[in-house]
Structure 1
Amino acid sequence: MPQRCQWAGEDPLMVAYHDEEWGVPLRDDRRLFELLILEGAQAGLSWRTILHKRENYRRLFDGFDPVKIARYRDAKVKKLLADAGIVRNRLKVAATIQNAKSLLELQKSGTSFSEFLWQFVDDQPIHNHWKSLSDLPAKTDVSDAMSKELKVRGFKFVGSTICYAFMQAAGMVNDHETSCYRHRQITAEDRG
């Protein structure tokens, strides 16, 4: 059995997420948008909770289509807040709608969401060398800068800690523990 990061635990969904998604460089605008929304939804909760609700989010939020989400009105918000399949937090739902609008404005300016986000790491993943989960920072200067710029552009629920978790998940930083088999694989794929 391969050695994994401590946080993956034994939950099959968490293990699959760790092995197949977390830390893999992601450059698709819609998938990055989904991930940013889910990381914001996680605030104050565990990633395991959000991961187990992810399919509900995808269904209820129209596959994270920002054009559709930007058009949501009060009736849709009430329907979302009544569904236990997601985190029923009015501020987080409102942030999702605002973030869709902000994403569309960014794209209208001629910049893809991917280009905008990856500029913070000079378009290359940062490969860290943490030995244990306790070594990982909650935020960095880079996540501070990303958070600040996202807020300037109207995004919500994008504090520095959320941005750093997003960067880890989207593969902008490789924060797999050095003893984890995925650390070596992701580093090799990036340099390969």
Structure 2
Amino acid sequence: MSSYCDFAPGNPIHAYYHDHEYGFPVDDEAVLFERLILEINQAGLSWELMLKKRDNFRAAYDGFDIDRVAAYGEKERARLLADAGIIRNRLKVNAAIENAQRIVALRAEHGSFGGWIAAQHPLPKEDWVKLFRRTFKFTGGEIVGEFLMSIGYLPGAHRESCPVYKRIARLNPPWMDAANAKKTGPEKAKRAKK
């Protein structure tokens, strides 16, 4: 089966994202929000298109500043829907604004978007999908899976033979930390009984 690791390295569009971002642990709110917006906008389209339009999205959504996007009104919504540099889909634009508002609300209990994600971990993918569908707009299974894989919460971003996998492993992303905890949990219990 073909993987991102087969064609992204050396590709002028995909290489940097593959080599330096995809699958690496992230907790910066603007970066998390950017990934969520890009994954939502990719639905029905290609990731290459998202990477090509990434700077346009950054400019259109005020650098992915969650507070600013959460405060968008009809004027900003109309501006986004008229911006040929991004994806002009009303459902996706509305989802970005509403999701920003929901992230602002999550801060009351979790401090940040990253804090909310960390508080839910670990979950199997199907539970993540249910949680995101309850919490956010326009977040189906593929969007949630790719989003969480891209920020280090689900495995599968890179094959183990990919050099980037080894770099990410040294950072102990959340999915790997949870997998290691499962492996060592029974061993610790056995040692405690001795």
Q: Which fold has the larger relative contact order, with Cα–Cα distance below 8 Å and residues 6 or more apart in sequence?
A: 1
- Equivalent residue in structure 2 for 1:182, among 160, 164, 185: 164
**Residue of structure 1 equivalent to 2:145:** 164
Give identity over the alignment, percent. Answer: 39
CA RMSD of aligned residues (A): 1.9
How far is the alpha carbon of 1:145 from its aligned partner? 1.6
Matched length: 169
CA distance in 2, matches of 1:77, 1:39: 19
Query: How far apart, in 1, do the equivalents of 2:103 and 2:7 lie?
Result: 31
1:149 partnered with 2:147: no
Is the 2:98–2:137 contact (alpha carbons within 8 Å) kept by the matching residues of 1? yes
Distance 2:133 2:105 in 1: 13
Residue 37 (structure 1) aligns with: 37
Alignment of 1:91-110 (within 5 A): 91-110=91-110
Moved more, 6-15 or 89-98: 6-15
Q: Deviations over 1:1-52 (max 9, x none)?
A: xxx7024165323101100111111111221111111111111111110011
TM-score, normalisation: structure 2: 0.79
Structure 1 length normalisation: TM-score?
A: 0.80
CA positional deviation for 1:93: 0.1
Q: How far does residue 94 in structure 1 lie from its aligned partner after superposition?
A: 0.3
| Distance change >3 Å, CA 110–CA 25, structure 1 → 2 | closer
Closer, same or farther in 2 for the Cα pair 1:7/1:98, shift >3 Å? farther
Q: Which has the larger radius of gyration?
A: 2
1:60, distance to aligned residue in structure 2 (A):
0.7
List structure 1 runs of 4+ shifted beyond 3 angstroms: 119-122
For the residues of structure 2 that align with 1:171 and 1:110, how far apart are their CA atoms?
19
- Is the Cα contact below 8 Å between 2:58 and 2:64 reproduced in 1? yes
- Determine the C-alpha separation between the residues in 2 that align with 1:116 and 1:89: 27
Which stretch shifts more, 31-40 or 143-152? 143-152
How does 1:1-192 map onto structure 2 within 5 Å?
5-8=5-8, 10-122=10-122, 142-153=124-135, 155-175=136-156, 176-190=158-172
Counterpart for residue 182 of structure 2: none
